[in-house]
Amino acid sequence: MTVQRALGIDVPLVLGPFGGLSSVGLAAAVSDAGGLGSYGLYGYDPDRITATIAALRQATTRPFAVNLWLPTGDEVTPDAVDVTAAAATAQPLFDAVGATVPALPDRFLPDIDAQLDAVLSAAPPVLSVVYGVPSARLRAQTADRGIRLVGTATSVAEARALDEAGVDAIVASGAEAAGHRVSFLARAEDSLVGTMALVPQVVDAVTAPVIAAGGIADRRGVAAAFALGATGVQVGTAFLRTRQSAAPAGHRAAIAAAGDTDTVLTRVMSGRLARGIPNEATRTLGAGARLPFPAQNWLTGRFRAAAAAQDRAEYLSLWAGQAAALARWDDAADVFAELAAGLPR
Ligand X SMILES: Cc1cc2nc3c(=O)[nH]c(=O)nc-3n(C[C@H](O)[C@H](O)[C@H](O)COP(=O)(O)O)c2cc1C
Among 323, 332, 335, 339, binds ligand X (CB under 6 A): 323
From candidates 234, 263, 279, 296, binder to ligand X by CB under 6 A: 234
Does the protein bind ligand X through residue 115 (CB under 6 A)?
no
Cβ atoms of 343 and 12 within 8 Å: the answer is: yes
CA distances from 41 to 49, 153, 287, 316 (A): 7, 19, 31, 19
Task: State yes or no: residue 319 binds ligand X (CB under 6 A).
Answer: yes
Closer residue to ligand X in complex, CB, 89/152:
152
Binding segment toward ligand X, per CB under 6 A, in 108-116, 135-143, 233-241, 265-273: 233-241
Q: Decide: is 237 part of the binding site for ligand X (CB under 6 A).
A: yes
**Position closest to ligand X via CB:** 236
* 133 scored as a contact of ligand X (CB under 6 A): no
| 90 lines the binding site for ligand X (CB under 6 A) | no
Q: Please identify which residue in 126, 321, 329, 338 interacts with ligand X, judged by CB under 6 A.
A: 321
Could you tell me whether strands 37-40 and 274-276 are parallel, antiparallel, or unpaired per DSSP bridges? unpaired
The answer to whether residue 152 forms part of the interface with ligand X (CB under 6 A) is: yes
Crossing angle between the packed helical segments 112-122 and 46-59, to the nearest 10 degrees: 30
State which of residues 4, 12, 19, 290 lies at the interface with ligand X (CB under 6 A).
Answer: 19
Helices 136-144 & 112-122, crossing angle to 10 degrees?
20
Closest CA to 1 of 221, 203, 245: 203
CA 154 to chain centre: 13
Continuous segment of H or E residues that includes residue 191 = none
**Is 179 a residue that touches ligand X (CB under 6 A)?**
yes
In our burial notation (b when 16+ CB lie closer than 10 A, e otherwise), range 161-184 reads bbbebbbbbbbbbbbbbbbbbbbb
**Of residues 163, 176, 218, 338, which one binds ligand X by CB under 6 A?**
176
31 binds ligand X (CB under 6 A): no
Instruction: Give the containing element (helix H, strand E) for 116.
Output: helix 112-122
Residue 85 beta carbon to ligand X: minimum distance, rounded to whole angstroms: 27
Say how far apart CA 300 and CA 138 lie, in whole Å.
Answer: 32
- Indicate whether 294 belongs to the interface with ligand X (CB under 6 A): no
Which one, 101 or 343, has the nearer CB to ligand X?
A: 343
- The Cα–Cα gap between 99 and 91 comes to 9
Name which position in 96, 150, 161, 178 contacts ligand X (CB under 6 A). 178
Binders of ligand X among 59-88, rule CB under 6 A?
67
255 lies in the binding site for ligand X (CB under 6 A): no
235 interacts with ligand X by CB under 6 A: yes
Binding of ligand X by 244 (CB under 6 A): no
Q: CA nearest 64: which of 36, 86, 42, 40? A: 36
Q: Is 316 in the site for ligand X (CB under 6 A)?
A: no
Of the candidates 7, 119, 216, 254, which one interacts with ligand X according to CB under 6 A? 216
Cα 327 to Cα 230: distance, rounded to the nearest angstrom:
21
Cβ distance to ligand X smaller for residue 19 or 342? 19
Question: Phi and psi at residue 307, in whole multiples of 5°?
Answer: -65, -40
Q: Does 27 bind ligand X (CB under 6 A)?
A: no
Q: Is there a contact between 315 and 303 (Cβ–Cβ < 8 Å)?
A: yes
Does 214 sit near ligand X (CB under 6 A)?
yes
Q: Report the interface residues with ligand X, using CB under 6 A.
A: 16-19, 21, 40, 42, 67, 130, 152, 173, 176-179, 213-216, 234-237, 240, 319, 321, 323
